[in-house]
C-alpha cells in the first residue's frame, strides 16, 4: 500500500496542481485563435470580407410650431351667452386653513396648512386675510370670529 503523505508532500502537490491549472487557463486564449480556413479539397480559403461601415446617420430637421415650455392658455370661461367676462384660473376658490396640530404652553403655536403649504403660526400671525386671535386645545380662533378646529385625520 501507499504511505500516507506528510505535510510537505501535500503542499508540493497543491502548488503543482495550482501551477498546472493556471498554465492551462492562461493558454486557453491561444487555442481559440483562428487558423487558416480550408475547403473540402484541402485548398486555402480567402479571408472573409469585412462589411463596409455605413454612412453617418442624418437626423431629420425639426420644425417647432409652438414653444414647448410655454404654458397653454386656458380657454376663456364665460358666465353666459352675452357676457364677455373672462375669469382667471382658480378665481373664486376660497382657501380654508386646516389645523393639523396644536402646541399649548406659555407661547401656544399651531401647525396650519393653507394653500398646500404647512407652517407654524402663533397668536398675532397673519393667516389668509385675517389674524389669529387665540390658540386652544380645540383649534384656532381668528380675529373675525371664525373657529378652525383641529383636523389631523383628514388629508
Domain ranges in the chain? 98-149
Please report which confidence band the pLDDT of residue 13 belongs to, taking 50, 70 and 90 as the band edges.
very high
Please report which confidence band the pLDDT of residue 123 belongs to, taking 50, 70 and 90 as the band edges.
very high
Mean pLDDT comparison of 17-21, 45-49, 94-98, 112-116, highest-scoring range: 17-21
Q: What angle do CA 88, 97, 113 make, to 5 degrees?
A: 100
The position carrying cell 353666459 is 80
Report how far apart, in Å, the C-alpha atoms of 146 and of each of 58, 136, 143 are.
67, 14, 7
Question: Would you say 140 and 132 are in contact if contact means Cβ atoms under 8 Å apart?
Answer: yes
The helix or strand, by DSSP H or E, that contains position 103, with its residue range, turns out to be strand 98-103
Please report which confidence band the pLDDT of residue 55 belongs to, taking 50, 70 and 90 as the band edges.
confident
Mean pLDDT along residues 25-44: 73
Mean pLDDT along residues 39-50: 71
Looking at domain 98-149, its CATH class is mainly beta
Mean pLDDT along residues 47-76: 76
- Percent of all residues in the chain with a pLDDT value above 90, rounded to a whole number: 32
Mean pLDDT comparison of 47-61, 93-107, 120-134, highest-scoring range: 120-134
Report how far apart, in Å, the C-alpha atoms of 16 and of each of 20, 23, 72, 84 are.
6, 11, 78, 97
Please report which confidence band the pLDDT of residue 30 belongs to, taking 50, 70 and 90 as the band edges.
confident
Question: Would you say 135 and 102 are in contact if contact means Cβ atoms under 8 Å apart?
Answer: yes
Enter the pTM of the model.
0.40
Q: How far is residue 74 CA from its own chain's centroid?
A: 30
The position carrying cell 462589411 is 51
pLDDT at site 82: 54
**How does the average pLDDT of the chain come out, rounded?**
80
Alpha-carbon distance 43 to 87, whole Å? 89
pLDDT at site 34: 64
Cα torsion 7, 8, 9, 10: sign: positive
- Cα end-to-end distance, the chain, whole Å: 85
The position carrying cell 382667471 is 88
Amino acid at each position: 500500500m501507499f504511505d500516507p503523505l506528510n505535510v510537505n508532500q501535500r503542499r508540493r502537490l497543491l502548488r503543482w496542481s495550482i501551477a498546472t491549472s493556471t498554465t492551462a487557463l492562461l493558454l486557453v486564449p491561444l487555442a481559440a485563435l483562428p487558423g487558416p480556413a480550408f475547403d473540402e479539397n484541402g485548398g486555402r480559403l480567402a479571408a472573409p470580407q469585412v462589411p463596409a461601415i455605413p454612412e453617418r446617420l442624418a437626423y431629420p430637421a425639426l420644425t417647432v410650431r409652438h414653444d414647448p415650455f410655454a404654458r397653454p392658455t386656458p380657454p376663456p370661461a364665460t358666465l353666459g351667452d352675452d357676457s364677455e367676462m373672462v375669469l382667471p384660473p382658480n378665481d373664486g376658490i376660497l382657501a380654508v386653513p386646516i389645523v393639523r396640530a396644536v402646541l399649548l404652553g406659555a407661547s401656544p403655536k399651531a401647525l396650519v396648512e393653507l394653500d398646500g403649504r404647512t407652517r407654524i403660526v402663533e397668536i398675532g400671525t397673519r393667516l389668509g386675510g385675517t389674524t389669529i386671535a387665540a390658540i386652544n386645545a380645540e383649534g384656532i380662533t381668528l380675529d373675525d370670529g371664525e373657529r378652525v378646529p383641529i383636523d389631523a385625520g383628514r388629508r
